């Protein structure tokens, strides 16, 4: 089974599209876990009121959950999709890294798929990735992505991926977009994302590939990725600093990290300008 982890914070305007794209995957053996990170815009209430049928809701407000985790808010299973959706709500905002980690801890699948609440998937995404994984001994698989803006307009830009990603390739630029990742749960548990001043997902992929030989890529536009200039990665100066600290936290020396950051910026320009 694949457990789809969707962290959400004030995602009222886009979460329905993300959840719908996960439900409609042609890969059947899946569950969806939404971690609401103490949203203030009533993200979950909006999702329930505009998407989920009340007849399919199971009130589990008093359910027992693992120690240290917040309350399980509700479970929903739409008969049309034959997929269970579990929603957890944090009592205070803890950041996307902690939210993803919580989802991984709660997951029951052998594999984890990450999907940010402002992105969405092509219907064939999980099916094609699981087929690729079965043909390989790789522990992590990613895909290419199409870019669109906050107004929902496609930008006509495709960011592809190598079919084989080694540590050396990943050091030069982050080919692995988080919303495209499918990975073995035991590996993700071994390398949880850290809530630091680094790029939490890039740091995790670097650590994974220090222990495993390679990741694989499905070079097809299977993720629709929202370009948000107000995000951490949208601020170029802040993003550069975060890239530097990513290399530091990954165990590289300061001089090496500075050199790698410059190389990363150059390769990033090449990647996005193709």
- Six-digit token pair at 240? 């550069």
| 7-19 tens-digit pLDDT | 999 999 999 999 9
Angle between helices 236-249 and 254-273 (to 10 degrees): 130
Going by the DSSP 8-state scheme, the letter that residue 69 receives in this structure is S
| 195-254 tens-digit pLDDT | 888 999 999 999 999 999 999 999 999 999 999 756 555 567 888 899 999 999 999 999
What are the structural domains of the chain?
2-273 (3.90.550.10)
Rounded distance, CA 234 to CA 228, Å? Answer: 6
| 73-100 tens-digit pLDDT | 677 766 557 788 888 888 889 999 999 9
Cβ pair 28, 81 in contact under 8 A: no
Rounded distance, CA 230 to CA 60, Å? Answer: 36
- 109 has a pLDDT exceeding 80: yes
Res 136: pLDDT: 94
- Six-digit token pair at 35? 């971690």
Rounded distance, CA 259 to CA 257, Å? Answer: 5
Cβ pair 44, 36 in contact under 8 A: yes
**Who wins on pLDDT, 27 or 48?**
27
Among residues 208, 194, 209, 177, which one has the least CA distance to residue 245?
Answer: 194
Inter-residue long-range contacts of 88-93, CB under 8 Å, 24+ positions, other chains counted: 88/33, 88/34, 88/35, 88/36, 89/36, 89/38, 89/44, 90/35, 90/36, 90/37, 90/38, 91/38, 92/38, 93/9, 93/37, 93/38
């Amino acid at each position: 089974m694949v457990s789809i982890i969707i962290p959400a914070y004030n995602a009222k305007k886009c979460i329905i599209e993300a959840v719908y794209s996960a439900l409609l995957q042609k890969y059947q053996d899946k569950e969806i876990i939404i971690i609401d990170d103490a949203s203030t815009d009533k993200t979950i209430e909006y999702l329930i009121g505009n998407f989920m049928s009340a007849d399919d809701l199971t009130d589990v407000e008093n359910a027992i959950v693992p120690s240290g985790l917040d309350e399980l808010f509700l479970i929903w299973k739409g008969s049309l999709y034959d997929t269970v959706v579990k929603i957890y709500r944090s009592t205070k905002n803890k950041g996307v890294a902690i939210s993803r980690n919580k989802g991984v801890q709660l997951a029951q699948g052998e594999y984890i798929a990450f999907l940010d609440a402002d992105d969405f998937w092509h219907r064939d995404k999980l099916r094609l990735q699981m087929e690729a994984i079965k043909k390989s001994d790789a522990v992590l698989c990613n895909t290419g992505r199409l870019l669109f803006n906050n107004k929902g307009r496609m930008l006509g830009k495709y960011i592809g991926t190598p079919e084989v990603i080694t540590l050396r390739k990943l050091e030069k630029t982050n080919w692995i977009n988080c919303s495209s990742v499918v990975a073995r749960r035991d590996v993700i548990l071994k390398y949880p994302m850290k809530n630091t001043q680094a790029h939490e997902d890039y740091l995790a992929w670097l650590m994974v590939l220090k222990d495993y030989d390679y990741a694989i890529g499905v070079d097809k536009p299977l993720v629709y990725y929202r370009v948000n200039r107000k995000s951490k990665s949208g601020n170029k100066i802040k993003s550069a600093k975060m890239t530097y600290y990513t290399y530091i936290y990954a165990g590289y020396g300061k001089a090496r990290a500075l050199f790698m950051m410059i190389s990363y910026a150059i390769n990033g320009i090449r990647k996005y300008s193709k």
